[in-house]
Amino acid sequence: MMKSQNTSTIQNKDGEIIDKQTKITGQVSGAKWTEVLPYFVGTALILSMYYMQEKYNNIFFGVWIIYAVVPILDHIVPHDNYNLPEKEIRNYEKDSRFLIPLYTAWAADFLLYFWGFYLIVQDKYPTSPGLFLALTFGIANAGALNLSIGHELVHRRELVHKILGNLVYSKMLYSHFIIQHIKSHHKKVATFEDPSSARKGESIWDFLFRTVPEGFVETWELEKNRLQQEVAVYKFFGVFGVVYQIVYSIFDIIFFETINYVEHYGLQRKLDSNGNYESIKITHSWNAPQAVTNYFLFKLQRHSDHHAHSYKPYQILESLPESPCLPFGYSATFLMAYVPFVWFKVMDPYVDSINKNEKMSEEVETELKRWCKGLLIVISILVTYITFFVIGFTPNY
């Protein structure tokens, strides 16, 4: 008896065997929706910031979630070190559903940003310095979440993604990042020639003073467009609109460069006898397995694999056991960077252990994490006090 031919599969234009359902729906069969849905947390947070400001005049509630709640959740939720089976990687890579949370968060951030200009036109934007800074800081924090999305998109091969990713940096007057990041950072990372690689013993404030001007100098021609953007903002929204744009951009530039500061702090590629740097290795980027921040930042914390394979979409980035790991997730480490005394106390021993290829003792590591936890408790109390008692919740009727 002849075997019946399998008609449930077909061959696509790349010569791959796929099932007919994939052809019909346009989706590959690997990922489940439950694996995509957690990445909508960024969208939910940005929309909640808009809601809390409109309903209760407190956009800072979203800031409280970012700086107080997320670090706690990162500490409670099990770490994410899961890597896809090799046979599933191509299916996940081609699954367009993973683009949906990227672009919903992208759109939500842009809406919040332009909503700020709308409030200015309607004379509803607070003019008192404290409330102005609080609202702008909240809107800029939504922009900070979008920075990882912009980074993800500019590394895609398709031009449309690159353009939309570039817009994330254009609205913070920092579009030169694209050229510097791809043409310079990915080649010079973990060397003194890279403005975006922080050196051991360099505070975040020293790093900002060095890297921001160097970035503008490297791409001066592109920055002429930035000045034209400011003129356009002035024509449409007046002086107050320009102030909003500049303050928003300052906040987001600081946020963005702090991420750069954390990602490569102190890690150095060695020079050979001919004065050439060794090849880029997975030991030249800091990683973190904290699951909640990974969902908010689209696995930006798997940074070593990103530098090894810059075109990999976020959903297939791997957690590499040999890569250096931060004592806490990016969200917590981000905060620690703003207190140089604690930063050096905690991070410099980690840097030395990686650069010297030595294992840190458990006793030392426990003591260093204790310092970080203490600082996070202080910051959580401070942000909670500002959110609930200084700004408070005043209903809009």
Average pLDDT value for residue range 258-285:
94
Of 18-27, 50-59, 326-335, minimum mean pLDDT range: 18-27
% of residues, the chain, pLDDT over 70: 88
Quote the CA–CA distance of 153 and 102 in Å, as a whole number: 9
Q: What is the pLDDT of residues 204-254, one digit of tens each?
A: 999 999 988 876 665 555 555 656 666 777 778 888 999 999 999 999 999
Cα atoms in the Cβ-side hemisphere of radius 13 Å centred on 378: 10
CA distances 256 to 11, 144, 146, 361, Å, are 44, 7, 10, 32
Average pLDDT value for residue range 329-354:
96
Of 255-259, 291-295, 355-359, minimum mean pLDDT range: 355-359
User: pTM here?
Assistant: 0.89
What pLDDT does residue 3 have?
A: 44
Quote the CA–CA distance of 335 and 284 in Å, as a whole number: 21
Task: Answer whether residue 35 shows pLDDT above 50.
Answer: yes
Quote the CA–CA distance of 10 and 31 in Å, as a whole number: 20
Boundaries of every domain in the chain: 52-391
Quote the CA–CA distance of 192 and 188 in Å, as a whole number: 8
Of 84-88, 238-242, 293-297, minimum mean pLDDT range: 238-242
